[in-house]
Structure 1
Amino acid sequence: MGKIVISANATLDGVVQDPDGEEGFECGGWFHRFVGRRDLEAWAVRETAEVVGADALLLGRRSTEWFASRMNEDAADRVSPEWADTMNNIPKYVVSSTLEDPRWNNTVILNGDAAKEIAELKRRVAGEILVYGSYQLIRTLIAQHLADELRLVVFPAVLGKGLRLFDETTAEQPLHPLDTRKLGDGLLFHTYTFG
């Protein structure tokens, strides 16, 4: 049985919107603005180990398109060559009713009943199914009690506005802390289980 792991970066007030500043959000670009080099190096080491240890990715359409457009030679420089290679080759499952040609290798489109297809995916994949971005999908996973673990890297900034990780969550979910540790000089990494 697979385990669905939500992996997210957020500000201290929970904003996940436009971390790289490319979406035009007035507070975007927070990913690089509020941390130093040691923080980003520690983040990259953790991020690489996480995706290398996963058995599959589960993404929404927009996140798939965002990642696929960035998986070129620059991707190896932004995080690590191992991360980029794994991202390009790991099995990917995309929840979308509109995407027809994902243009990213090793990708399967889930276009039926999302909850049923994801539950079946959990039965078929033995290890970790990693979810990056995909905030609409994350809300479905939480509402349908399909998420097993949350890994959250918190950036030391308060933006005061923007899309938050748990905006519009429709159901209460108890979370149980597993681990908290510092990454670099200013990032905090929290791990929780759902349920």
Structure 2
Amino acid sequence: MRGGWALGKGDDETHAFIKQTYQRADAFLLGRRTYEVFAESWGTLTEQDVPGWEPVMRALNAQPKYVASTTLTDPEWSGTTVLSGDLATAIADLKAKPGGELQVHGSGALTQWLLANDLVDEMTLLVVPVILGQGARLFPQNGPDLALDLVESRVDSKGVTIQVYRPAGRPQYAAA
């Protein structure tokens, strides 16, 4: 999911899926830039500002937020903790806590780092049928190959696809 723009795309079933996803979270892990965007929007909105999207706003404001950052020192959004130092250990500790999901939304550089460090248990991709001529890549141009198992896939009536994957180690290639 990529911020507020993607929230308005898709049909009612996709909107319900997005809302349910946020509601399942026990905590959110965000990169600094995504955190700043979310804090400036979701962190300041009221339920009247987001008709129909109240479940997302409530989840983001109620659940703990962890930010991977070496530059953010004094987060203003309530319930935010900055993770610094040994990020891999801090995230492994968060993942080891009992309960539900530690979710990452947006945060492309963080997602790349999590994938490269085998810290992703499941990945949900929403693909909106729009071609952008620019922008940041979700997957790096160079880096380790990663095999994925498809857990779920659907397409809504507006062409938005939802794919849920689980990492399956490094791919095995046939010998030439």
Q: Secondary structure, in 3 states, of the residue corresponding to 2:25?
A: coil
Residue-pair matches, total: 166
Query: What is the CA–CA distance in structure 1 between the aligned matches of 2:54 and 2:138, rounded to whole Å?
Result: 28
Query: What is the CA–CA distance in structure 1 between the aligned matches of 2:81 and 2:68, rounded to whole Å?
Result: 9
Contact 2:11 2:158 in 1 (8 A): no
Matched, 1:101 2:45: no
Query: What is the CA–CA distance in structure 2 between the aligned matches of 1:136 and 1:167, rounded to whole Å?
Result: 9
Letter matched to residue 56 of structure 1: A
Residues 17-73 of structure 1 show CA distances to partners (whole Å, capped at 9, x for unaligned) of x984xxxxxxxxxx489x5xxx25433211110011111100011111100100212
Q: Give me the TM-score of the superposition, normalised by structure 2.
A: 0.84
The 5 A counterparts of 1:5-84 are: 8-9=1-2, 20=5, 31=6, 39-71=10-42, 72-73=45-46, 76-77=49-50, 80-84=53-57
Structure 2 residue ranges without an equivalent (≥5): 169-176
Matched, 1:137 2:88: no
Contact 1:139 1:169 in 2 (8 A): no
Q: Secondary structure, in 3 states, of the residue corresponding to 1:45?
A: helix
Residues 81-121 of structure 1 show CA distances to partners (whole Å, capped at 9, x for unaligned) of 12111111111111111111111111111111111211111
Letter matched to residue 191 of structure 1: V
Query: What is the CA–CA distance in structure 2 between the aligned matches of 1:143 and 1:41, rounded to whole Å?
Result: 34
Query: What is the CA–CA distance in structure 1 between the aligned matches of 2:141 and 2:118, rounded to whole Å?
Result: 15
Matched, 1:122 2:95: yes
Higher Rg of the two aligned structures: 2
Which gives a bigger RCO, structure 1 or 2 (Cα 8 Å, sep 6+)?
1
- What residue number does 2:125 align with? 152
Contact 1:68 1:104 in 2 (8 A): yes
Letter matched to residue 23 of structure 2: V
The percent identity for this pair of structures is 33
Letter matched to residue 31 of structure 2: G
Moved over 6 A (4+): none
Q: Give me the TM-score of the superposition, normalised by structure 1.
A: 0.76
Structure 1 residue ranges without an equivalent (≥5): 1-7, 10-17, 21-30
Q: Secondary structure, in 3 states, of the residue corresponding to 1:165?
A: coil
Contact 1:75 1:84 in 2 (8 A): no
Letter matched to residue 71 of structure 2: T
- Structure 1's 51 and 189: CA in aligned 2 closer, same or farther, altered over 3 A? same
- Structure 1's 94 and 49: CA in aligned 2 closer, same or farther, altered over 3 A? same
